[in-house]
Amino acid sequence: MASIRIKAKEKDGITEVKALIKHPMENGIRKDLETGALVPAHFIKEIECTYGDKVVVSAIWSGAVSKNPYWSFKIKGASKGDTLKITWKDNKGETDSKEAKIK
């Protein structure tokens, strides 16, 4: 399941990380238009970025985040050629992660 696309670019000691995550992000209160039944909740609840052995950014999400979320942030101290990793876990126990080299 390749659900994460990452771009990481370093400039003047600051690395800008951009991630696009493919996920339905259902909040559990939307009704199916055909059946009228509630669509079960299915959303990313934890997401983090690690660099080296350290978590540099982490977040707790809920069903209020839109489908296929875009996540962007900046970190200090990383260098071109280094690797970072983004990992998510959803409310159904599914998880995914991806590594990217900083350009």
Closest CA to 87 of 53, 44, 25: 44
What pLDDT was estimated at residue 33?
Answer: 94
**CATH architecture type of domain 4-101:** Sandwich (2.60)
Cα dihedral 30, 33, 35, 36 sign: positive
Half-sphere exposure of 57 (CA within 13 A, CB side): 19
Q: What is the pLDDT of residues 32-79, one digit of tens each?
A: 999 999 999 999 999 999 998 899 999 999 989 999 999 999 999 899
The gap from C-alpha 66 to its chain's centroid, in whole angstroms, comes to 12
Closest CA to 90 of 5, 6, 8, 22: 22
- Per the CB < 8 A criterion, the answer to whether 58 and 45 are in contact is no
The reported pTM is 0.90
What pLDDT was estimated at residue 1?
Answer: 53
